[in-house]
Every structure is written in C-alpha cells, then in structure tokens.
C-alpha cells in the first residue's frame, strides 16, 4: 500500500495545482521513487489511495505497468493512514503481511533492496509490524525529533524527547491481523504502532543507504543535490 491521499498542505503552493505525490524530484514524481522500490523488491501489485486532485494522480499511475496499480478511492472522505489501510484491506488480503509506504519519502539502497531486507527479517512469531528506520546521520530533509529507540533484537519503543534513536523511514511490513474489527474511519497508523509497542511486537530494521524526505518546497533542492551526489538522479 502506498499512502498518497494527503492534502500536502506543507507543500503549498505546489500542491494547489498537483497532488503531492506528483511533485517532481530530479524530474521524477515522488510516488515513482517508492513504486520503483516496490518493483525492485518484486512486488507485483500495489494499492494507492487517492483524494486530493485524484484524477491527475490516477492518470499518472495508469501509465505504469509494474507494479500493477489498484486505486483505493477516498475522494469522498480522507481516511488518514490507518483508515486507508482498513478500506484497502480487501485488496491487501487478511493472511500475509504487506508493505506500507509513504508517498513523500525515498531512499537510495546501498546494495540490495531495503524492502527485500524487511521481507527477510520478518518474524511472524515475534512481530506485528516491522519498520524501516533511518539513521539521522544518513538522512536528508528531516527537521523533527527522533521517532524510535531500538532495544535488543530490534524491538522498538517511542523515542519521546530523546535526541538519540532512529527516524521512521516511511516504509513498513504490517500484519493485517492488527486491523481485525477496525472500521474504515479516519485514524492514524500510530494507533497500531502503539498497540504493537504495548504488546512487545513492534520491531525495526535500520536502512542500509541514504534516506530522503521531501515535506516542503524548500526541501526539494537539498534532496536533488543529495541524489546527484549519490549518483542516483535520473
């Protein structure tokens, strides 16, 4: 699932004329960086939710042949990240874990696919959610605080006010059992992160490579400069 329905308020004025996932970085729409990562990991099908200027985003996505795109239409009501998963669950399935990606983050793999690393690290006996985490020393565009502290074996807790820890990199493996009985009403994925923490079943995996987030127009130039430095610009 690629979460792409947000209003992109912090990206104004660009998002007054295009949905945030179509904002170009090095000439490539943000969402294509994530879809390309899914393609490299061998994912054949991706659900993308739409709300803001949906026809523009749908028109762009129909040009892709891989992964095959299924649209989860939220133009009537924005459901936030958690509600979006519940609505899309019939497409995602209820048996096996699935990837969840934010449409406004990207990363450059050091060698192999980080999404493949997530898949290989998944342990259903221990985990409900496995997050891809970024080291702030290898990140561009992050201006907030740390998100998680990693304990023994990769188990996570909230970082709180700590200056140490990791940034959530906007990619995860998520077990659909967490959504059992949930309604397709607006709510955040943070609800499920906190439930998994309480159960001792939220884990993290450090990203191997460089992570970039593009949240405002001012973040585009640093992102493009870093991509050129890494030799990753198209």
pTM: predicted TM-score of the whole model, two decimal places: 0.94
Pairing of strands 45-50, 68-73: parallel
In this prediction, residue 234 carries a pLDDT of 72
- Structural domain that includes position 174: 2-229
- Is 167 a domain residue? yes
pLDDT string in tens for the chain (234-residue length): 999 999 989 999 999 999 999 999 999 999 999 999 999 999 999 999 999 999 999 999 998 889 999 999 999 999 999 999 999 999 999 999 999 999 988 999 988 899 999 999 999 999 999 999 999 999 998 888 899 999 989 999 999 988 889 999 999 999 999 999 999 999 999 999 999 999 999 999 999 999 999 989 999 999 999 999 998 877
- Is 234 a domain residue? no
Question: Which tokens belong to 125?
Answer: 């006996």
Q: What gap in Å lies between CA 81 and CA 189, rounded to an integer?
A: 5
In this prediction, residue 73 carries a pLDDT of 96
- Is 142 a domain residue? yes
- CATH at residue 183: 3.90.550.10
Count of domains forming the chain: 1
- Is 191 a domain residue? yes
Pairing of strands 129-134, 105-109: unpaired
- Is 221 a domain residue? yes
Helix (H) or strand (E) holding 84: helix 80-92
- Is 158 a domain residue? yes
- Is 59 a domain residue? yes
Nearest to 2 by CA among 81, 107, 96: 81
Q: Given the structure tokens 């923490």, which residue do they identify?
A: 197
């Amino acid at each position: 699932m690629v979460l792409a329905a947000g209003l992109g308020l912090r990206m104004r004025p660009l998002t007054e004329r295009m949905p945030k996932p179509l904002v170009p970085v090095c000439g490539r729409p943000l969402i294509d960086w994530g879809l390309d990562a899914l393609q490299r990991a061998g994912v054949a099908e991706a659900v993308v939710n739409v709300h803001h200027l949906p026809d523009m985003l749908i028109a762009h996505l129909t040009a892709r042949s891989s992964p095959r795109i299924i649209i989860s239409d939220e133009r009537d009501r924005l459901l936030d990240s958690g509600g979006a998963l519940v609505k899309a669950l019939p497409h995602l399935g209820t048996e096996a874990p699935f990837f969840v990606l934010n449409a406004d983050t990207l990363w450059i793999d050091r060698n192999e696919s980080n999404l493949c690393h997530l898949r290989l690290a998944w342990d259903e006996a221990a985990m409900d959610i496995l997050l891809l985490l970024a080291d702030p020393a290898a990140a561009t565009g992050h201006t907030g605080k740390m998100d998680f502290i990693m304990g023994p074996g990769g188990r996570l807790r909230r970082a709180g006010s700590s200056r140490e820890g990791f940034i959530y990199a906007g990619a995860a493996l998520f077990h659909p059992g967490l959504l059992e009985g949930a309604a397709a009403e607006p709510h955040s994925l943070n609800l499920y992160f906190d439930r998994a923490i309480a159960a001792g079943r939220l884990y993290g995996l450090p990203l191997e490579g460089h992570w970039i987030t593009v949240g405002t127009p001012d973040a585009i130039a640093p992102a493009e400069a870093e991509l050129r430095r890494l030799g990753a610009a198209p």
